[in-house]
Structures are given as structure tokens and as C-alpha cells.
Amino acid sequence: MSINPTDLSPYGLTVKNIVRNATPARLYEYAIIDRHAAIAASGALATRSGDKTGRSPKDKRIVDSPESSSNIWWGDINIRLTERSYLINRQRAIDYLNTRKRIFVFDGFAGWDPTHQIKVRVIAESAYHALFMHNMLIRPTMEELAGFGEPDLTILNAGSFPANPYTPQMTSRTSIDLNIEQGELVILGTQYAGEMKKGVFTVMNYEMPRRGVLSMHCSANCSTSDPGDVTLFFGLSGTGKTTLSTDPRRALIGDDEHCWTDDGIFNIEGGCYAKVIHLSQHHEPEIYQAIRYGAVLENVVYDDSTHEVNYEDASITENTRVAYPIEFIPGAMVPCVGQHPRNIVFLTCDAFGVLPPVSRLTPEQAMYHFISGYTAKVAGTEMGINEPTATFSACFGAAFLVWHPAKYAELLADQIRQHGVNVWLVNTGWTGGGYGVGRRMNLRLTRGIIDAIHNGTLAQALTRTDPVFGFHVPVTAGDLPKDLLWPRDAWANPESYDQMANRLADLFRENFRKFETGSSDAIRAAGPVPISGPSVTG
């Protein structure tokens, strides 16, 4: 579909050869030409994002404007950018795009609830990026496209062209600049497509709380037989959020970004962006089968002659990804909206081997652990890491928050109390000892825990209180071994467990100090404390 070049005149673009909202097949064809990509044996497009194979959080900037400045949680995550430096980068991107023989424009929506939907326009030099956002945004109908009008957010993606490091406030040749007031995102110096996806999420994380709507970095699904049985899954990378929410027995609402309104929840995105490192048809059949014509594989290694993808090969990056429309998941909930959740699951990969495989949280504990957003890196995954390292990310998505974390936590607390939601902490990490000593939780076992949450078994189970963290830990849970449910019993040396539990508790308390101001006494008291001896409750 063609677009009148004058429609792009507000952005200063004069390129004559513009492709707008082309069919996926045409974008697919352009992407192969433009990116020297290949068609994988599955039929998906396999491409690379250049030197950047992940996000560049230290290069993300937000324009400091009087209208929004007092609302923003400024610091290492939201770094200030002057209007002048923004305009320099914006002009640099426009000048570069004007030198291209062809640019691609895609218009789509963020948010399945029409009441809270925003209109997004993507302008990019790469068909690969247009196809990626075609998958990740909600695709408009022809009628919606005809009446699309002015976008609420415009993404100017000139990622092949670097920022000028001598521009004030630039720290590298990469810059991702958000201007909230102008509704623009400018990308320079990185071709990693995830910057666009998370740029849209950042905008939603600013706009939705202004409306009293909670934006969340989580996945969601619901029972195919009971639409009121909705579950939210929160968790940092590597905890199993996408895997556990993609269940053939339940309808997927979305795998990563949602909002919670007075009417229920809705997915922000029109597609999924799943990790594919170590992907197998046996363990994750739904994701595996979604990799077909129209899907975009990023940074995977494939055989040059057969185009078979080697999902075990991390020589380019551990962060291998696939983007596909949510309709590629059988039985996905489309439109992607749901009722108020019945259960919330906080996922953590505890490499210290301390946390139970499942425990129930009080509303105050839920707030504490939501603000904490804990998981752990394991030895050997990064240079210099020789033992488990605690990682905390506020609200399980600190990199994308715009307001202070307490803003989101308060909205979540209100919804939990109002709708009587059960909140669970599920450990997908280690048991019987920390990394290198214990063993990783089996995926089958974790799925069994999630099943017990969904069928109500765990909500009725007898519990006992964890002596350090205060969790309510089920005494029994179906066929799960009792010593596994109570992690101290799974360790060969219980005294070693106590030492490690106290160490992890200290890390929690140290991290939470920066959030104590603004948190209620009840939330502060919900953190780990040095107590001993389990109690049994009904």
C-alpha cells in the first residue's frame, strides 16, 4: 500500500519511495533483500540485529520537559536529556532516513482495550523492523487504517546510523530518546528490534498510571472452560514467564505486557517475543510451532545449506529471539482481553536454593516482593560471576518504569484487595543446595505446581510459615515430595541452609532500603526477619 510522501512532512521526511502497511509477504520479501537474511527451514525469516544483540539500557534517555518532569522517576533508569540534544538526534535520524532509497511505515495499535488504546506509527529504513512491529503491534483492519489519523507515538528508527558521541549527554554511539510531550521515540546506533517494543511499553508505563490503570510487565492466560480463571505471571528473564504462560490447556492472553483496569486486563501487544535458546519441540511445542512463515527469528545460528536452525548455539548471543503474531499460538484469546485475575504468580529463579518451590503471600508480602522483583544470576553466565548473584528489578521490570515503583505497587495492591486475588511465589531455580551443589527445579514439577494453583488445591492446602521470609508454604501439594516443598529438608546440611537463607535475607533487606521511603509500615514489615522455628497453620 502506498502512502503520500506529504503525510510524512511533519517529520521532515522527503523520501519518495515509501512502503506503508504492506502485506507481511511483501515485507518478508523486502526484509530478505535489505538484511541479507535467510528463510529458515521452518519458513520464518532469520535475520541478525548487528552488533547489538540486546537492549542498551544505559543509552536510553527521556527528554526533561516541564509538563512531565515531576512525574518521572529520574536516575540510572530514566536518564535526563535536554530538548536541544534530543532535537540534534532527531534531526540526525531524519537526515539519515532521507538518504535511503526506500523507507517503511507501519501504523498499528498498542492495547486491545479501545478505551486505553494508543496509535503507533513506525518509520524505519529496514523491512525487518517493519515486519517485527507488524507482528508485535495490534494490526489494524483496512477500515481502522483508513481512519487512523495522527499517531500518539511515532518511532523514528534510524538504527543503522550512529549517534554523535560529542553531542551533549551522549555516552556512546547508541541513543534511544523518548520525548513524552511530542510523542516520539528516536533510535540511533542500534538495530536491535526489541528497543521499539520496549519503547512502546515505556510510553504505556507512563500514560496508563496517569489514568489510574496499572501497566504490568507480565504474561497472562485463562482457562479455556472458565473465562474467569485468569492468571498473571510476573518474572524476570530466565524465570519461565513465557514458557509457563504458554499452556495448551489454557488460552494465552499475552506473553509480556498487560494493563489492569476497572473492567479487567488487556494485552498491550499483538504478538509474542519469545526466547528461543535451547528451544525444543518437546518442552515448548506451542512456541516451536509458532516459528513459521511470517515469524521473525533474531540472531539464531542456522546451517547455510539446509537453513536448519540450531537453537542450542549461543555463539552469537544467549538472547536469541522470535517475534510472531499471537494468533500463531493455538487457542490464543483474541481479542486479547480477560476478566480480573484469580491468581498472580511471581516467578523467581533462586540460584541460592533457599526459596520454596511454591509459597503463598499476604497482600503486604505481595507488595514487598513486587517492589523487590528478585531473581538470581548463576555462575558462568557473565564474566566475573563465580557464584550466585542476586538480581533485583522493581516491579519485575524496572528498566521500563517511568513513575516511582511505589506508584505501580499501590495500584497493584488496590486491585489485589478489591478482587481477592491469590498471590503465589514460585521458585523455578535450585533446590537441595545452591547452583553447583543442588539441582534445578524440573519443568514438569513446576508445571504441576501451576496446575495445583489453577485447580484450587494449593489454596486449600495446610501451610506452615517459613521462619525467615514469613511465606505460607504448603505442607502437601499433590504428588510433590514433602522435603522438596520445605527447602531446608532438601539440603544435606540444614545449618548450611540456615546460613544461606540469612545471607539471601540480608540481600533483600539491603535492596529494599531504597524503597523504604514511601512504603507503609506493613509493607516494610513483610520482608524477611531473623526468626526461627516453623509454625503450622490451616
Amino acid at site 131: L
344: β partners:
232, 423
Based on the fold, state whether residues 206 and 277 are members of the same structural domain.
Answer: no
Domain end (from 210, 235, 263): 210
> Region 343-353: what's the mean pLDDT?
96
CA distances from 401 to 6, 155, 208, 213, 255 (A): 35, 19, 11, 14, 18
| Residue 108: predicted pLDDT | 97
174 in active site = no
> Region 43-48: what's the mean pLDDT?
96
Residues 6+ apart with CB under 8 A from 167: 85, 88, 89
| Residue 21: predicted pLDDT | 83
Asked whether residue 488 carries a pLDDT value surpassing 90, the answer given is yes
Distance of alpha carbon 308 from alpha carbon 211, whole angstroms: 47
> Which of 16-20, 131-135, 298-302, 531-535 shows the lowest per-residue confidence on average (mean pLDDT)?
531-535
Catalytic residue among 61, 129, 241, 488: 241
Distance of alpha carbon 507 from alpha carbon 386, whole angstroms: 17
CA distances from 204 to 61, 72, 213, 400 (A): 16, 13, 10, 9
Catalytic residue among 49, 175, 242, 245: 242
pLDDT band of 377, cuts 50, 70, 90: confident
Q: ∠ at Cα 155 (149, 158), nearest 5°?
A: 135
Based on the fold, state whether residues 307 and 376 are members of the same structural domain.
Answer: no
Domain-located, residue 451:
yes
Distance of alpha carbon 364 from alpha carbon 361, whole angstroms: 8
Domain-located, residue 259:
no
Whether pTM exceeds 0.85 = yes
Of the two residues 35 and 145, the one the predictor is more confident about is: 145
Domain-located, residue 99:
yes
> Which of 75-84, 197-206, 242-251, 447-456 shows the lowest per-residue confidence on average (mean pLDDT)?
242-251
Q: Which three cell numbers stand for residue 71?
A: 512525574
Mean pLDDT of the chain: 92
Catalytic residue among 56, 223, 237, 476: 237
256 in active site = yes
Amino acid at site 239: T
| Residue 36: predicted pLDDT | 74
CA distances from 220 to 3, 47, 231, 253, 259 (A): 36, 28, 6, 5, 10
Asked whether residue 532 carries a pLDDT value surpassing 60, the answer given is no
What are the backbone dihedrals phi and psi of residue 313, each rounded to the nearest 5 degrees, phi first?
-85, 115
Catalytic residue among 321, 342, 369, 404: 321
| Residue 173: predicted pLDDT | 97
CA atoms within 13 A on the CB side of 7: 17
134 in active site = no
Domain-located, residue 282:
yes
> Which of 31-35, 327-331, 473-477 shows the lowest per-residue confidence on average (mean pLDDT)?
31-35
**Where are the extended beta strands (E) located within 386-535?**
389-392, 422-427, 430-431, 439-440, 463-465, 472-474
Asked whether residue 2 carries a pLDDT value surpassing 50, the answer given is no
Share of the chain above pLDDT 70, in %: 95
224 in active site = no
321 in active site = yes
Domain end (from 210, 233, 263): 210
> Which of 79-93, 149-163, 252-266, 364-378 shows the lowest per-residue confidence on average (mean pLDDT)?
364-378
CA distances from 478 to 233, 440, 461, 464, 486 (A): 21, 20, 10, 16, 14
The closest of 235, 503, 525, 463 to 353, measured between CA atoms, is 503
| Residue 23: predicted pLDDT | 86
Residues 6+ apart with CB under 8 A from 273: 136, 194, 197, 255, 256, 321, 322, 323
Q: Is the distance from CB of 36 to CB of 128 less than 8 angstroms? A: no
Distance of alpha carbon 164 from alpha carbon 88, whole angstroms: 9
> Region 243-264: what's the mean pLDDT?
93
Domain end (from 210, 242, 257): 210
pLDDT tens column, 165-187? 999 999 999 999 999 999 999 99
What is the bridge-based pairing of β-strands 184-188 and 175-179?
Answer: antiparallel
Of the two residues 385 and 474, the one the predictor is more confident about is: 474
The closest of 111, 108, 155, 130 to 24, measured between CA atoms, is 130
| Residue 518: predicted pLDDT | 72
Catalytic residue among 35, 55, 369, 472: 55
**CATH number, position 309:** 2.170.8.10
Asked whether residue 198 carries a pLDDT value surpassing 90, the answer given is yes
Domain-located, residue 262:
no
| Residue 97: predicted pLDDT | 96
**CATH number, position 206:** 3.40.449.10
Catalytic residue among 256, 375, 446, 488: 256
Based on the fold, state whether residues 364 and 300 are members of the same structural domain.
Answer: no
Domain-located, residue 261:
no
Based on the fold, state whether residues 450 and 378 are members of the same structural domain.
Answer: yes
Of the two residues 413 and 531, the one the predictor is more confident about is: 413
> Which of 216-220, 237-241, 257-261, 394-398 shows the lowest per-residue confidence on average (mean pLDDT)?
237-241
Q: Is the distance from CB of 39 to CB of 19 less than 8 angstroms? A: no
173 in active site = no
pLDDT tens column, 423-434? 999 999 999 999
Q: Which domain holds residue 507?
A: 342-537
CA distances from 287 to 123, 140, 321, 327, 456 (A): 28, 24, 11, 12, 27
Residues 6+ apart with CB under 8 A from 182: 63
Distance of alpha carbon 8 from alpha carbon 37, whole angstroms: 28
Based on the fold, state whether residues 394 and 322 are members of the same structural domain.
Answer: no
Domain-located, residue 10:
yes
Asked whether residue 61 carries a pLDDT value surpassing 60, the answer given is yes
Asked whether residue 368 carries a pLDDT value surpassing 90, the answer given is yes
Per-residue DSSP letter, 293: T
DSSP 429-469: SEESSSTTTSEEPPHHHHHHHHHHHHTTHHHHS-EEE-TTT
**CATH number, position 471:** 3.90.228.20
How many CB atoms sit inside 10 A of residue 291's CB?
26
Based on the fold, state whether residues 397 and 279 are members of the same structural domain.
Answer: no
CA distances from 140 to 46, 114, 293, 337, 443 (A): 25, 12, 20, 17, 37
Based on the fold, state whether residues 391 and 523 are members of the same structural domain.
Answer: yes
Catalytic residue among 217, 250, 258, 369: 217
Asked whether residue 526 carries a pLDDT value surpassing 70, the answer given is yes
Based on the fold, state whether residues 313 and 387 are members of the same structural domain.
Answer: no
Domain-located, residue 482:
yes
> Which of 59-63, 102-106, 475-479 shows the lowest per-residue confidence on average (mean pLDDT)?
475-479
Based on the fold, state whether residues 323 and 372 are members of the same structural domain.
Answer: no
Based on the fold, state whether residues 27 and 121 are members of the same structural domain.
Answer: yes
Structural domain tally of the chain? Answer: 3
pLDDT band of 6, cuts 50, 70, 90: low
Based on the fold, state whether residues 67 and 108 are members of the same structural domain.
Answer: yes
90 in active site = no
Share of the chain above pLDDT 90, in %: 80
> Which of 44-58, 406-420, 436-450, 470-484 shows the lowest per-residue confidence on average (mean pLDDT)?
470-484
Residue 399 burial class via C-beta count within 10 angstroms: exposed 0-12, middle 13-18, buried 19 and up: middle
pLDDT band of 380, cuts 50, 70, 90: very low
Distance of alpha carbon 246 from alpha carbon 372, whole angstroms: 25
Based on the fold, state whether residues 100 and 75 are members of the same structural domain.
Answer: yes
